[in-house]
């Protein structure tokens, strides 16, 4: 069995894709305070340390309450550019060569920030990253499931002039009591417009939500999906159909989905043929970006090199890259692994 140090070195060297990243969840404490100062916003915490003391989350909702509060500092196109660029620099450091980013327009338009401002800043950073960092991307607009479906429709109409800048739609926020089926109609509009669809399901919600997301929303990927372990028949189907689960290990532990990392099922799912991969979710709040998530798995679960390589390959196989790009990156993973 390889040493943890060797396994971590392998992960640092391998090219990777990240498919489950909320750009607002990459808002680090220092940037919260910098943007608040730039925009003249008074924060309800006196220091970065006081803010970080609130990161002891009891569940998903306790995190979301703070998450939405912190987004209040994002007001201008430059703010959204700076936020996105900071994340993309983290991608470069972790050798994430492709990322598929979620953004939550309702969190901003509800505060009076125009949709054009939000997407303008994010897209400018994404374009610059492809030119200067060699990091490619896709952009996924998420609907907030705790808000009524009518609000999602209003957001869809607001997004209409910008659909050529959006690659997919997703569903996030509070999962309990908000099944995917509530958003069936707006997802149908997105599919008709040629967009990819994904949805959070089976994190705090039951496996039945995974079934709804697949059958009613016709998603290409399930975000989180870890509670599929409670539904063996559904697990077997997802494995057979190669429906990806975008798993976020540090997030799952920080939000008490699992008490400790050594009880996380990601490797068991992988070994049962489920197309799982490693993502960071909201890295500013949950303890780290992609490589930190891999390192936590290495420390707790001691994956083999073959398992680590499979997780990395799944990140490309599950992406919305074209087939030629996928093939190229899979070859690059094999070449880098062979030098390990």
- Taking the C-alpha atoms of residue 27 and residue 222, their distance in angstroms, rounded to an integer, is 24
Chain centre to alpha carbon of residue 307: 21
Query: Residue 223, annotated ligand binder?
Result: no
Query: Residue 224, annotated ligand binder?
Result: no
Q: Tell me yes or no: is domain 4-319 CATH 1.10.10.60.
A: no
- Residue 114 clears pLDDT 60, i.e. is over it: yes
- Between residues 174 and 137, which one has the greater pLDDT? 137
- Residue 2 clears pLDDT 80, i.e. is over it: no
* DSSP letter for each residue of 184-210: HHHHHHHHHTT-EEEEEESSSS-HHHH
Query: Residue 282, annotated ligand binder?
Result: yes
pLDDT of residue 58: 87
pLDDT of residue 60: 87
pLDDT of residue 115: 98
Task: Give the angle 48-49-55 at the CA atoms, nearest 5°.
Answer: 95
Per-residue pLDDT averaged across 233-247, rounded? 98
Give the H/E segment covering residue 276: strand 276-278
Retrieve residue 5's tokens.
Answer: 């140090």
Per-residue pLDDT averaged across 159-170, rounded? 98
For the chain, give every domain's residue range: 4-319
Closest residue by Cα to residue 221 from 210, 229, 235: 210
pLDDT of residue 5: 78
Confidence of residue 64 (pLDDT cuts 50, 70, 90): confident
| Torsion angle of the four alpha carbons 268, 271, 277, 283, in this order, in degrees rounded to the nearest 10 | 20
- Taking the C-alpha atoms of residue 212 and residue 268, their distance in angstroms, rounded to an integer, is 24
- Taking the C-alpha atoms of residue 278 and residue 188, their distance in angstroms, rounded to an integer, is 28
- Residue 340 clears pLDDT 90, i.e. is over it: no
pLDDT of residue 293: 98
Return the SS3 of 84.
helix
- Residue 3 clears pLDDT 80, i.e. is over it: no
Tell me how far CA of residue 108 lies from CA of 70, 80, 111, 168, 186, in angstroms: 11, 11, 5, 19, 20
- Taking the C-alpha atoms of residue 319 and residue 298, their distance in angstroms, rounded to an integer, is 23
Per-residue pLDDT averaged across 269-297, rounded? 98
Retrieve residue 293's tokens.
Answer: 């998530």
Q: What is the pLDDT of residues 77-104, one digit of tens each?
A: 999 999 999 999 999 999 999 999 999 9
Q: Which residue has the tokens 């993973």?
A: 333
Instruction: Convert 305-318 to b/e letters by CB count within 10 Å (16 or more is b).
Output: eebbbbbbbbbbbb
**What average pLDDT does the structure give for the chain?**
96
pLDDT of residue 260: 97
Give the H/E segment covering residue 224: strand 221-224
Retrieve residue 281's tokens.
Answer: 């979710």
| Torsion angle of the four alpha carbons 87, 93, 99, 105, in this order, in degrees rounded to the nearest 10 | 0
Q: Burial-class residue 146 by CB neighbours within 10 Å (0-12, 13-18, 19+).
A: middle
- Residue 57 clears pLDDT 70, i.e. is over it: yes
132 catalytically annotated: no
Helix axes 232-241, 207-215, angle to 10 degrees: 40
Query: Residue 22, annotated ligand binder?
Result: yes
- Residue 339 clears pLDDT 90, i.e. is over it: no
> Mean pLDDT lowest for which of 40-49, 178-187, 327-336?
40-49
Query: Residue 200, annotated ligand binder?
Result: yes
Per-residue pLDDT averaged across 263-273, rounded? 98
- Residue 275 clears pLDDT 70, i.e. is over it: yes
Retrieve residue 301's tokens.
Answer: 């679960």
Retrieve residue 265's tokens.
Answer: 């099922």
pLDDT of residue 325: 98
Name the pairing type of β-strands 168-172 and 96-103.
unpaired
Q: What is the pLDDT of residues 216-230, one digit of tens each?
A: 999 999 999 999 999
Which residue out of 77, 175, 203, 204 is catalytically annotated?
203
- Residue 147 clears pLDDT 60, i.e. is over it: yes
Per-residue pLDDT averaged across 108-118, rounded? 97
3-state SS, one letter per residue, for 98-158: EEEEEECCHHHHCCCCCHHHHHHHHHHHHHHHHHHCCCEEEEEEEEECCCCHHHHHHHHHH
């Amino acid at each position: 069995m390889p040493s943890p140090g060797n396994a971590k070195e392998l992960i640092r060297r391998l090219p990777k894709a990240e498919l489950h990243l909320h750009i607002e969840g990459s808002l680090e404490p220092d940037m919260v305070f910098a943007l608040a100062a730039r925009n003249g916003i008074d924060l309800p915490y006196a220091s970065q340390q006081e803010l970080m003391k609130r990161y002891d989350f009891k569940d998903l909702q306790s995190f979301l309450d703070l998450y939405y509060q912190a987004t209040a500092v994002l007001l201008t196109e430059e703010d959204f550019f700076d936020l996105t660029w900071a994340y993309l620099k983290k991608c470069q450091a972790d050798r994430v060569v492709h990322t598929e980013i979620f953004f939550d327009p309702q969190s901003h338009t509800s505060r009076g920030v125009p949709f054009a401002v939000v997407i303008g800043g994010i897209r400018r950073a994404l374009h610059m990253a492809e030119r200067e960092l060699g990091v490619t991307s896709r952009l996924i607009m998420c609907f907030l499931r705790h808000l009524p479906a009518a609000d999602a429709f209003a957001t869809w109409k607001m997004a209409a002039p910008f659909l050529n800048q959006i690659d997919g739609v997703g569903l996030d926020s509070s999962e309990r009591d908000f099944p995917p089926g509530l958003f069936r109609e707006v997802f149908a509009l997105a599919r008709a417009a040629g967009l990819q669809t994904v949805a959070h399901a089976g994190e705090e919600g039951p496996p039945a939500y995974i079934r709804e997301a697949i059958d009613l929303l016709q998603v290409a990927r399930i975000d989180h999906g870890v509670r599929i372990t409670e539904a063996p028949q559904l697990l077997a189907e997802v494995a057979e159909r190669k429906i990806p689960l975008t798993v976020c290990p540090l997030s799952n532990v920080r939000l008490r989905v699992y008490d400790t990392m050594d009880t996380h099922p990601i490797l068991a799912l992988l070994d049962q043929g489920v197309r799982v991969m490693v993502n960071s979710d909201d890295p500013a709040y949950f303890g780290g970006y992609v490589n930190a998530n891999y390192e936590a798995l290495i420390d707790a679960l001691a994956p083999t090199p073959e398992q680590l390589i499979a997780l990395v390959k799944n990140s490309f196989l599950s992406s919305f890259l074209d087939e030629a790009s996928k093939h190229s990156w899979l070859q690059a993973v094999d070449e880098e692994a062979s030098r390990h």
